Structure formats: C-alpha cells, structure tokens
Chains A and B, each alone.
Chain A
Amino acid sequence: MKIKKNIALSDTGFVFNPASGDSFSVNPIGLEIMKLLQENKSHDVIKKHLLETYSVDKDTIEKDFYDFAKMLEQFKVTETDEKKES
C-alpha cells in the first residue's frame, strides 16, 4: 500500500485529493504514517518505527495501524502495489 501520487499532504495534517476534491484532516501520528507510506516504507518498518517512538504496546499498534490503513483505503487516498508490499 502506498499513498497516491497526486495526494497533497501538508505539515499541519491537511490532506487534499485534487482528483476527487475531497479533503481530510489527520492527527500528527496519522500524518507521520502517511509520510512514511509516501516514502514507500513497508508496513512492518512503519510499525517498528511507531513502537520505538511512542509509548505503546505491539498489539495496540497492530490493531490501530490496520484500522488506519483500512480508513485510508476507504477514503481512496491509497493505491495497492502488491510487489512492493511483499
């Protein structure tokens, strides 16, 4: 999974999809995840980074990351690239 190329991400958490006109707001940790996805980081790398940075356990990260990724998918700001995922 990666963020679509045309998605604009501001440093304050404002997300804009020029193709659909939809705009979104993300909280700081959500923004961090989206930026890492933009850099084509794998899910495992991102989760490891979050675990090292934040005071949180592995299960919570696993659960919340899955939920966030699903929301990104639902809002159509991501595209799935099977090769890079694996």
Chain B
Amino acid sequence: MKKLQYERPLIQRLNTGLMNKFGMKTEYTPHTHIDEVSVKSLIKEFGSPLFVISERTIRNTYKEANRAFKTRYPKVQFAWSYKTNYINAVCNVFHQEGSWAEVVSGFEYHKALNNGVPGSKIIFNGPDKSEDDLRAAINNESPIHIDHLDELYHLNELAVEMNKRPKVAIRVNMDTGVYPMWDRFGFNYENGQAWDAINKIILADKLDLVGLHSHIGTFMLSPSAYGVAASKLSDLALGIKKKYKKNILYLDMGGGFASKNTLKGSFLQGVDTNPNFDQFAESISTAILNAGFGTDELPLLVLETGRALIDDAGYLLGSVISNKRLSDGRRATILDFGVNVMFTSFWYDHKISPAQDFGNYTEDSVLYGPLCMNIDVIREHITLPPLKRNDHVVVHTVGAYNMTQWMQFIALRPAVVMIDLKNKVHLIRKRENLEYLEACEVKPDYLKSFKL
C-alpha cells in the first residue's frame, strides 16, 4: 500500500477578536517555479542558498518605468545605479535597455567602463572621488556631480593642470517636506549654499556646469516630495539662465523610489500601498513642465532609480536546516541563508514562500539564518505551513542591495544565476570558496607554522 504524504502534526490555539478587516495573509502560496524553471532543479544544479535574477522581470519593469516617464515628459534618460546591484550581467541588461551608468566610487566607475559604457554616459556621484578617479572622469568627459567645495576646488585645479573643461553638475539637498531630510550630500538649496557653488563654478569659468542633481532620500513613499525637489531644481536652472544666460542641460532627480517590499512595522503590504512609477512620473514631470522652461529649453530628465527597477527581479532560494521550539512555545525554523547575504531583512518583512505543495494548515514561526549570531533573524514573525528539514523556500523581492551589501561572515556568499528570456539559466556569479576568501590575505613567514 502506498504511504500517505506526511505533514508534521500541529495544534494551534484559536484566538478570537484578532482578525482584521483585511482577513488572513495569503503569502503562503507555494512558489515552485521562477520563470518556468523549477526551484528544485535550480537548487539541485547550483546548490542552496542561491540568488536568482529574472531577466524578463528586469526588462518588463524597466519598460514600465520608461513608459511612465516618457509618456509624460519628452526627454528622459535612466542611468543604472551600480551600487544597487553591480553584477555585470545585471548592469548589461539595463545598458541593453538604454540605461546610462550611475556610479559612486572609483571601482564602480571602472566596472561601468569595462562593461562598455562610454565615459560620457557614466554619471559620477558620491562624496569620495580620488584624484585618479577625477582624472579618469575628466579624460572620459563623464559628468561629475560635485558633492562639496573641496571637490569643486580640486576640480578647478585639475582643469587648469590638464587643460580640460570638466563637465560637472552640483548635487543639491533641500527640504522636500519629508523626514528625515537628507542634507549630508551636496549643497543646500534653502540656505544659499547651492547658489554659492553655482556662482563659484560659473565665475571661475574652469568647469562646464551642465546639470543639477538631487537625491532626496531612500525608499520614498511620497511622490509629491519629488515634485517639490523638481520645482526647486527647476528654479535653480531658470535662475542660472536668467543670471548667466546659460542653459542647464539636465536635471537629475536621483533615485529612491520605493519598491514593492514591506517596511518593518508597516500594517499593510508594500505591494498594496507603495507608489508606482506613474505616480512618481506624474509628480516630477508636472513640476518641471510647469516651472517655466521654453519648449526648446526643457532639460533632459535623468533618473538614477535602482531599487524599484531591480528588487522584484531578485529571488533568494534556500533550504530548511531544522525546526525547533522556543522557550515560549513559538516555532522556530532555521534556514541556510542568513542576514550576511540578505542585508535587507533588517529593513523589510520580506515575502517568503514555501517552494513545495503543502496542506491547509499553517503555524506562526520565527525564521532564523544559519549564523551563530543572535542577530541572524530573517523574519521575526511569519505564518507558514509546517516546513521540514530540506524543504525549500523562496524569498521574494531581494534584487536590490543584497548582492552588493552582502558579506562573508561565518558563511560564504552564494552563487547568482540569471534566467534569460527563453528560460535558460546562466551562472552570473560563482559561489565563493575558501580560496577566494583567502586570495587577498598575506600570512607573514614567522606565522606560517606552530606547534600545539
């Protein structure tokens, strides 16, 4: 006789009065395939844990964002934010779609060059650009976004020494009505720092001021804040035109658009509440179009959106190591991926689905990672069907920041694969090993041996 499928026995106390009007959560639908490739086969071939990127989702999301802006404003240019996910295969999908590159460090700058992005289409942001970085950017005619006066003076010196006229923009910070106000980067709008920097650049006449840049925050849930920022940048651009008869070629609104993730502490799911591209586009384009530019003088609108373009395309597959019961009776499940590879679990309540079929019963659990550290908590509270050892789970919406902020800590970093438009799987980053980890270490001769 064929034996019945086993499910762990469980009993749950029924509580009345705790249901809300939105009913029970429905996040425990099994997620057995990603782009028609089975989770089981992916783990079998590439091991667990494993990051999976859906090329189809990247391209669809990009097209959606592009449509939202280009149907509202005539001149739009996206620049892929390297820090969000700088795996070369991912960057090149964006470049194939038409994105420039937006980088914030020397190594990111050279990564973009190595990927084949022309220097003039690499926007160089960030507070720390070395002299070598600046020289390379000047030689390649990359737009350099000035963060502070020291950088401005340094660029003036280099311009004279190199006999070049670097293309620059200034980063402007401002009050857009949201908290916290980001004022550590760039020059402030309200207190006149921005105008001071603009005057210094134009009057010194060594740099070519081509753009204005702002980046008002991260995971912004208020599209209207971008409208305020766009109005203030437009005001500066029109002021420059009036005072110096100089056209500003582009306004760069930076990034920060929220993805569909759910921030910790949110009552509602991010997928239901977070603004979409249309809302951000409406707010920004309306502000610029109403600012007073002549139709032939409208600046190019540059967007450095990272998170909202890539988050949905990333999945993290993992396996159950063990189940245990905590002292207060709560169920705890230990998974084989921890906060060292899923940094965003500090910010979000990530949606996590089982990757196999199961019955109708669920239980409340805590999800822990494998690290021997108390902070390694993936979800403090989640309702899932009973998972058993070696069952698989899929973490959704992990494409942004995890594959750049991950670290080797206790466990090494997993492989990354990309599923292409024909559902073919490509390894785009190998699983790390001890040899890789130790490649940069140098052991002095006198420490090479010991007796125990």
Contact = CB atoms under 8 A, between A and B. Distances in A.
B320 to A, nearest CB: 12
A2 B374 CA distance: 37
B13 A65 contact: no
Contact of B11 (A24, A54, A55, A65): A24
Contact of A54 (B5, B10, B12, B359): B5
Interface in A44-84: 52-56, 60, 64-65, 67-68, 70-72, 74-75, 77
Interface residues of A, number: 28
A1 interface: no
Given A28-B359, A67-B325, A71-B329, A55 B12 contact: no
Contacts of A23: 13-14
Contacts of B409: none
Interface majority SS (helix, strand, loop, mixed), chain B: loop
Interface residues of B, number: 21
A56 B9 contact: no
B3 A54 contact: yes
Given A60-B388, A71-B329, A24 B14 contact: yes
A71 B13 CA distance: 10
B4 to A, nearest CB: 5
B10 A60 contact: no
B249 to A, nearest CB: 65
Contacts of B10: 26-27, 30, 68, 71
A60 B6 contact: yes
Given A55-B4, A55-B6, A25 B329 contact: no
Q: Which of A32, A52, A56 has the most CB of B within 10 A?
A: A56
Interface string B345-376: 00000000000000111000000000000000
B7 interface: yes
A24 B15 CA distance: 9
Contacts of B8: 29, 64, 67-68
Contacts of A68: 8-11
Contact of B325 (A24, A65, A70, A75): A70
B10 to A, nearest CB: 5
A85 interface: no
A80 B5 CA distance: 30
A55 B6 CA distance: 6
A44 B11 CA distance: 20
A29 B9 contact: yes
Contacts of B360: 27
A65 B11 CA distance: 12
Contacts of A29: 6-9
Contacts of A52: 3
B8 to A, nearest CB: 5
A55 B3 contact: yes
A15 B5 CA distance: 23
B5 A30 contact: no
A65 B5 contact: no
Contacts of B6: 29, 54-56, 60
B309 to A, nearest CB: 41
Nearest to B13: A24
B9 A55 contact: no
Given A28-B359, A29-B7, A70-B325, A22 B388 contact: no
Given A27-B7, A27-B386, A30-B11, 18 more contacts: A23-B14, A24-B11, A25-B11, A25-B14, A26-B12, A27-B9, A27-B359, A27-B361, A30-B10, A32-B9, A33-B9, A52-B3, A53-B4, A54-B6, A56-B6, A68-B8, A71-B11, A71-B325
14 contacts: A26-B11, A27-B9, A27-B361, A53-B3, A54-B4, A54-B6, A55-B3, A55-B6, A56-B6, A67-B325, A68-B9, A71-B10, A71-B11, A71-B325
Q: What 3 A-B pairs have minimum CB-CB distances, sorted nearest first?
A: A30-B9, A56-B6, A27-B361
